[in-house]
Amino acid sequence: MTITQKHGLELLQDSSLNKSTAFSEAEKQALGLVGLVPDVTETEDLQLRRVMMQLGHKNTDLDRYIYLVNLLDHDETLFYRTIMSDPARFLPIVYDPTIGEVCLKFGHIYRQTRGMYISMERRGKVKEILKNWPEKDVRFICVTDGGRILGLGDLGANGMGIPIGKLQLYTAAAGVPPQYLLPMYLDAGTNNEQYLNDPLYLGLRKTRPRTEDLFSFVDEFVEAVQEVFPKCCIHFEDWTGVDAVHLLQRYRDNYCVYNDDVQGTAGITLAGMINATKLKGTKLKDEKYLFLGAGSAGIGLADLLCSALVAQGMTLQEAQAKVYMFDVNGLLESTRKDLVDFQMPYAHQHTPTRDFVAAIESIRPTTIIGVSTIGGAFTQKVVESMSQINERPVILALSNPTEHAECTAEQAYTWSKGKAIYAAGVQFAPVHYNGETFLPGQANNFYIFPAVGMAIFATQAKRVSDEMFIEAAQAVADQLTPELLKQGLLYPLQSNILEVEIQTAARVAKLVFDSGLARVDRPVDMVEFIRKHVYKPEYQNLI
Asked if residue 29 belongs to a domain, the reply is yes
Is the alpha carbon torsion for 201, 207, 210, 211 positive or negative?
Answer: positive
- For the domain that residue 412 is a member of, what is the CATH number? 3.40.50.720
Same-domain status, 397 and 431: yes
Catalytic residue list? 95, 166
Question: Angle, nearest 10°, between helix axes 61-74 and 44-56?
Answer: 150
Q: What is the pLDDT of residues 265-287, one digit of tens each?
A: 899 999 999 999 999 999 999 99
Rounded to whole angstroms, the Cα distance separating 21 from 42 reads: 6
Are 13 and 68 found together in one domain?
yes
For residue 125, count other CB atoms closer than 10 A to its CB.
Answer: 12
Indicate the residue among 225, 255, 285 that finishes a domain. Answer: 255
Burial class of residue 210 in the structure, from the number of CB atoms within 10 Å of its CB (0-12 exposed, 13-18 middle, 19+ buried): exposed
Which residues fall within 8 angstroms of residue 359, CB to CB, at 6 or more apart? Answer: 290, 324, 326, 331, 353
User: 322 with 453, same domain?
Assistant: yes
User: How would you write the pLDDT of the chain (543 residues) with one tens digit per residue?
Assistant: 567 889 999 999 999 999 999 999 999 999 999 999 999 999 999 999 999 999 999 999 999 999 999 999 999 999 999 999 999 999 999 998 899 999 999 999 999 999 999 999 999 999 999 999 999 999 999 999 999 988 789 999 999 999 999 999 999 999 999 999 999 999 999 999 999 999 999 999 999 999 999 999 999 999 999 999 999 999 999 998 889 989 999 999 999 999 998 899 899 999 999 999 999 999 999 999 999 999 888 998 999 999 999 998 999 999 999 999 999 999 999 999 999 999 999 999 999 999 999 999 999 999 999 999 899 999 999 999 999 999 999 999 999 888 899 999 999 999 999 999 999 998 899 999 999 999 998 998 999 999 999 999 999 999 999 999 999 999 999 999 999 998 889 999 999 999 999 999 999 999 999 999 999 999 999 999 999 999 999 999 999
* Of the candidates 445, 452, 488, 449, the residue with the CA atom closest to the CA atom of residue 468: 452
Q: Say if residue 425 is in the same domain as residue 403.
A: yes
Quote the domain boundaries for residue 367. Answer: 262-543
* 175 lies in some domain: yes
Domain assignment present for residue 2? The answer is: no
Burial of 1 (0-12, 13-18, 19+ CB in 10 A): exposed
Q: For residues 382 and 524, state if they share a domain.
A: yes
CB neighbours of residue 200 within 10 Å: 11
1 lies in a domain?
no
**131 and 194 co-located in one domain:** yes
Beta sheet of 181-187, edge-to-edge order: 116-119, 181-187, 140-144, 233-236, 257-259
Burial of 360 (0-12, 13-18, 19+ CB in 10 A): buried
User: To 10 degrees, the CA torsion angle through 492, 498, 500, 504?
Assistant: 140
Type of residue at 15: S
CATH code: domain of residue 33: 1.20.1370.30
Cα separation, 447 vs 208, in Å, equals 33
CB count within 10 Å of CB 137 equals 10
Q: Which helix (H) or strand (E) holds 56?
A: helix 44-56
Last residue of a domain, one of 88, 121, 150: 88
Q: Please state the domain count of the chain.
A: 3
Residue 435 falls in which region: left (phi positive, over 0), alpha (psi -120 to 50) or beta: left
